[in-house]
Amino acid sequence: MKTYIIRRLLLMPLTLLGVTFLVFCITRFVPGGPIEQMMQQQSMSALSGQKAGSQRGDNNLSEADMERLEEQYSLQEPIVTAYLQWLGVLPKKISISREEFGIITGEEPADREDEYAGISDTHTKINLNETGEQVVVVRPDKDSKEVKDAFFSGTPSRKAATEGWTVEVESPMDRAERWARRMRQTGNEGAIQDKAKGYAWRAVMYKTSFDGLLQGTMGNSFKYNEPVWDMIKERIPVSLYFGILSAIITYSVCIPLGIVKAIRHKSVVDNISSVLIFLGYSVPGFALGAVLVVYLGARLEWFPLCGLTSADFADMGFWEQAADLLHHTVLPLICYVVSSFAITTMMMKNNLMDNLSSDYVRTAMAKGVSFKGAVIKHAFRNSFIPIASTLGSLISLIVAGSMLMEKVFDIQGFGMLSYQALMDKDYALIMGTLLLTSFLMVLGNLLSDIIVAAVDPRIKFE
């Protein structure tokens, strides 16, 4: 058993790597990412006559803005490199500054601080966004990508490399190819060549930093501009609250009910309960939620329409808060548990009926064991094995919550967060929610195996 658990634990990282890498690749190929969204917002602003959010005052997203978005989410990098940066295995480029090679205007000869001032095709000055300082970047000739020297303006002995800066030179073709990847025009050689004619050589400076999953960060949400992990931590308690309550209610009601139905098969209690639980099973939880909100919430005003607490919740006393939370919990909780009642109850009933008709139960009763003892001590344990195999998956269900239920009742839980991430094409948030859900699912499967082995002595993991 110990060897099996260790082997499964060692396989968990490989499974998570495969799942996250697959979804990471999909997010890169699906349209509608941060750049497309920003361009759409600019277009909508232009159509509505509103001023776009750029300092230029026009309605176009500048190429510099697009490049900043690309660098924020490593969209300019190859997929494998970007994924390894998300993991924290490779460093990311940070504090990126750039400037084209060109004439530095506004300087009189007497004000020139070094021999490179004013030379257009072999040097440029980069204003560092991080510190506001200027760095002179020099190359051997006008068609070279090699960096001859890079030093801080006014102090040639103060080299940029010694302070952790990396300097690169981009050719017009490099910039055109990056544009083609951004605009999905990589196969249009003519457009790339035409675009390259409008670009100049450019110097780029940046630092590198490991900032990924292994360093404990998942990046920032594009939509909300908040750390992904902080958003997940804020939503998990809500889903845990409903998940744990629904699990307790479901198993504490359905298992005894399934035992009663098996013992009193075809009785009035069995028939009436079967009608009720299958009626609940036939109605989707989100549809029942909509009906309850309309009739019990809007028309009769017995329950609140949405949310988990009232607006003045913080000003209430302890017991008032508890009553308010319970008042908001009733309708969503009904919708959470109604569909799971039928599955758990009928699984318990059918398994118990099969075991009650087995030879070992009849043999136990023939030896003097009471019917109640035969049910509880013998048949129930074997009947519980199929249900025990699903207990591990409760972890992922409890944490992930139900997106549809949270949507109907406007509850800001983890399920709703995952849905919003998908709808917004929020890459960092998608990867964060996926990682947590996948981890809980893999862990739940392992726990299911352990629980089954604990309940069923016939199961041996060697």
pLDDT digits (tens, 9 = 90+) for 176-199: 998 888 888 888 889 999 999 889
Instruction: Tell me, rounded to whole angstroms, the distance of Cα 346 from its chain centroid.
Output: 35
Taking 80 as the threshold, does the pLDDT of residue 456 lie above it?
no
CB 100 within 8 A of CB 120: no
Q: Which two tokens stand for residue 427?
A: 């890459």
Q: Can you tell me the distance from the alpha carbon of 187 to that of 196, in angstroms, rounded to the nearest whole number?
A: 15
Q: Which two tokens stand for residue 424?
A: 């917004």
What is the per-residue pLDDT for 43?
67
CB 277 within 8 A of CB 342: yes
**Per-residue burial over 387-409, b = 16 or more CB atoms within 10 Å of its CB, e = otherwise:** bbbbbbbbbbbbbbbbbbbbbbb
Average pLDDT, the chain: 83
Name residues whose C-beta falls within 8 Å of residue 119's C-beta, 6 or more positions apart in sequence.
none
Taking 90 as the threshold, does the pLDDT of residue 412 lie above it?
no
- Could you read off the pLDDT of 102-116 as tens digits, one per residue? 744 444 443 434 455
CB 173 within 8 A of CB 164: no
Q: How confident is the model over 443-457, as a mean pLDDT?
A: 81
Radius of gyration of the chain (CA): 32
What is the per-residue pLDDT for 59?
45
Q: Can you tell me the distance from the alpha carbon of 136 to that of 127, in angstroms, rounded to the nearest whole number?
A: 9
Q: Which two tokens stand for residue 229?
A: 């992990």
What is the per-residue pLDDT for 445?
84
Q: How far is CA 25 from CA 20, 71, 75, 82, 433, in A?
A: 9, 17, 11, 10, 16
What is the per-residue pLDDT for 167?
93
Taking 50 as the threshold, does the pLDDT of residue 51 lie above it?
no
Burial class (CB in 10 A: 0-12, 13-18, 19+), 333: middle
Taking 90 as the threshold, does the pLDDT of residue 19 lie above it?
yes
- Could you read off the pLDDT of 260-291 as tens digits, one per residue? 998 888 889 889 988 988 888 888 888 888 88
- Could you read off the pLDDT of 136-166 as tens digits, one per residue? 888 888 888 899 889 998 888 899 999 999 9
What is the per-residue pLDDT for 394?
74
Q: Which two tokens stand for residue 275?
A: 């009608």
- Could you read off the pLDDT of 363-382 as tens digits, one per residue? 888 888 888 888 888 888 88
Q: Which two tokens stand for residue 215?
A: 């360093």
- Pick from 59-73, 387-401, 430-444: least confident: 387-401
Q: Pick from 199, 193, 204: which is nearest to 175 by CA?
A: 199
What is the per-residue pLDDT for 105?
44
Q: How confident is the model over 123-148, as a mean pLDDT?
A: 87
Q: What is the strand order of the sheet 155-159 is part of?
A: 123-127, 134-138, 149-152, 155-159
- Could you read off the pLDDT of 222-263 as tens digits, one per residue? 888 899 999 999 988 888 888 888 888 888 998 999 999 988
Identify the band that residue 401 occupies on the pLDDT scale cut at 50, 70 and 90. low
- Could you read off the pLDDT of 316-365 as tens digits, one per residue? 888 988 998 999 999 988 888 887 788 888 888 988 988 888 888 888 88
| Phi, psi dihedral angles at 282 (to 5 degrees) | -75, -20
- Could you read off the pLDDT of 52-84 as tens digits, one per residue? 444 444 446 678 888 888 888 888 888 999 999
What is the per-residue pLDDT for 49?
60
How many residues does this entry show for the chain? 462
